[in-house]
Structure 1
């Protein structure tokens, strides 16, 4: 079966999780004075519900909600008072209602007429406005106190056991998906970021760890780095039980396989990168030395990481039957389905290079390596041992195998591994004097075990023929 390998650099597959659409400042909602200061002021001090007003409000509100096309089953409603606002240069009067929903955020909405409603805004947005507009209207119903009480149920699938201690609206989008972005605090444990559909929309709910928005305008204020570290430590332990975790950062998300990348720093050893599913289920570990495609590690010195990985690779290769004291290595790509990296190694024990698939930690796939002669038959990824170096060795060997023929190898077609001799290389050699050969090179690359002139291969109708243009057209018979 042909192996599929994605050679795109990790960096091309990794993107940060900052929300793609711009977050508009919620303060813009308050530009209409009708929302900031209704004509009928809510009295200061503890709010007292008038049962008659409440009953009438609960009768009125279902039709208003239906007109606004909001997904809300009201648990309470109250007429706050009359208001007036500008609409296309005309003063329009309306009635302000506060609504508490059985699920989802409470809100304030203006009823203009039996066929028209004005703009609505959530109690959480009202609380945000209060910070900059002291006279802005606030939600007063017990069910909407505090304004984020409704979030306790919403966050449970994402932060089990979270008792919301605080929440704030960070911003809102003005283009699809239409969401309000909330930060949720969970007291002594880590909170997070919740993107929740705006009133009257069906946008999906999305949750993000505070770690994914570090350094952005959405950065968390209610969750500390220590809380995040405590939450993610189990991932580090799965990758390395000996790591004394002292730092963590979010690197990005791979849209190709819907995964997150986190870097961990360790106080007692080189750190590493952990790949998880989007629900933070552990998948695998990537050493810092192999994380160049992800932008590299920031908590671990590159030299220390490389030395540590080189030693580990040397042990892994030796166990697999490939003695190699790794001096340098190059991670070329990753085969996600088998959890193997495609790596080139440089070491004295392997003069013709070593390159191929190396299982990652936790992978059950096998080690599969070749030298750079075989690599030339397909991927041509070797850099430590170049093609001119390989050609020079073949030039040396053909002169021994075909003495007196004056063959200076000018071109090589690397065909593949020989079917008859394990590890042997099948290649077509073109000489500058137009002689040419189909050659079998021994597994140790120290001799040519068979060399058939192109003219003989043609006359015998051998299955492997010379294909390099002009090869084998030497005038004299072999």
Structure 2
């Protein structure tokens, strides 16, 4: 008997690309800098200058290493203390202040109060100058904290971004998260979201600066929009190498998903594309013609997408006809494929109930009608299922079962060579199972089975009128 089989279906591209634009939202931020500034100057240990840099008192270091590691551990921040210093104490407020350097890279300023969880501020936050250009009393001066921005590198990598950090700044801290900006060599920039306090073991999100509105409470200042869009020129060079040439007239950021960034380009020749970039590596993925890019953030806005789609529909009509499938294409939709030399398209034919799934290559193509397409791993969404029943009824006549007018059908499974369709009959009597060859555009039914004979295929018949009577 035919082995048990199950059909695996490829959904439309819209549902597989996870096109959920990551949009910024209002976040209540508190500037750690304000805390640093408010530390009374009287409680700060006196610091001597040594070659233009603050000298660290040996006793302050000894006191810091004695107390700070335990406080740091209690804070929950990601830090194995490698160096520390005692900054001072506000006896009236019952607060002690420390700076620590960490093996993990990012250092911190600590505020410790009795019976209260420690307050932890990254050195990027505590050392950031105020409006007057001066840093506050909690600024980091330990040698291990000389470059606090480097401590963000591990977070950027964990967030999946490719960035050689050139500049950094603290944006602010909310109730649960801290936000930082990084500027990368080459013009790209990101907003890094970490837990508060920072812990490399916690959740990290790294999003392109292009995602955030300029001037918002979470936004980028180290790079501007024009600089950030320079990446499109790099993608354009890669697109040209892959066979898509465009003299860019205009460009814009479209959206980001969990895995990719999308940019639209308008070309001097009137054409347009949406470039897909893999966010983890920054590499060019593919160029999507505007005629096929409706599933990406609403499609192209800088070129005449309607005209492009009309032209593309005519092109698909010709390709389908060449493949032996007559169809005046009214509507089409791309399906995902991992083969760059293959295009898989759903076709809706004008003035017809017939639709299909086309598989086109540079040299040939085949079009499956919507019934046999499902057995081959694709599913039509433009064509109603009941329009396929007449074809199944006709196939049953070939097996001398003209009494069955098909009223329902479902794919019950497939093997590498054969797919199986369960059908129900309008008279309510038990239906049948038809077998068709896989990979054939216009297959003739090759096998005919009763539901009893088909028990071992995909769990057997399950349509209501085909279930065994109790």
TM-score (norm 1): 0.63
Aligned pairs, number:
430
CA distance in 1, matches of 2:139, 2:441: 82
- Give RMSD over aligned pairs: 6.0
Gaps of 5+ in 2: 73-78, 413-417, 452-460
Change in Cα spacing, 1:409 to 1:118, as seen in structure 2 (3 Å) is closer
Q: How does 1:87-106 map to 2 (within 5 A)?
A: 92=94, 94=96, 96-99=97-100, 104-106=105-107
Q: Which residue is 2:330 aligned to?
A: 328
Q: Is the 8 A contact 1:27 1:129 kept in 2?
A: no
Q: Which residue is 1:119 aligned to?
A: 119
Q: How does 1:36-435 map to 2 (within 5 A)?
A: 37-40=41-44, 54-69=57-72, 70-74=79-83, 77=85, 80-84=87-91, 86=93, 92=94, 94=96, 96-99=97-100, 104-110=105-111, 119-127=119-127, 130-131=130-131, 136-137=136-137, 139=139, 141=141, 143=143, 149-152=147-150, 154-155=152-153, 161-164=164-167, 167-175=168-176, 179-186=177-184, 189-195=187-193, 198=196, 201-203=199-201, 207-214=206-213, 217-240=217-240, 241-245=244-248, 246-254=250-258, 259-268=259-268, 269-274=271-276, 276=278, 278-299=280-301, 300-311=303-314, 313-314=316-317, 317=320, 321-322=323-324, 327-331=329-333, 333-334=335-336, 343-347=345-349, 352-357=354-359, 369-372=367-370, 374=372, 411=407
Q: Which residue is 1:475 aligned to?
A: none
Q: Which residue is 1:5 aligned to?
A: 9
Find 2:20's aligned residue among 11, 15, 33: 15
CA distance in 1, matches of 2:435, 2:119: 81
Larger radius of gyration: 1
CA distance in 2, matches of 1:38, 1:119: 20
Q: Deviations over 1:74-123 (max 9, x none)?
A: 2x74x54442453xxxxx254x444556763444334679x999534233
CA distance in 2, matches of 1:104, 1:168: 15
CA distance in 2, matches of 1:36, 1:298: 56
Q: Is the 8 A contact 1:34 1:84 kept in 2?
A: no
Change in Cα spacing, 1:346 to 1:37, as seen in structure 2 (3 Å) is same
Q: Which residue is 2:76 aligned to?
A: none
Structure with more relative contact order (C-alpha pairs < 8 Å, separation 6 or more):
2
CA distance in 2, matches of 1:106, 1:339: 50
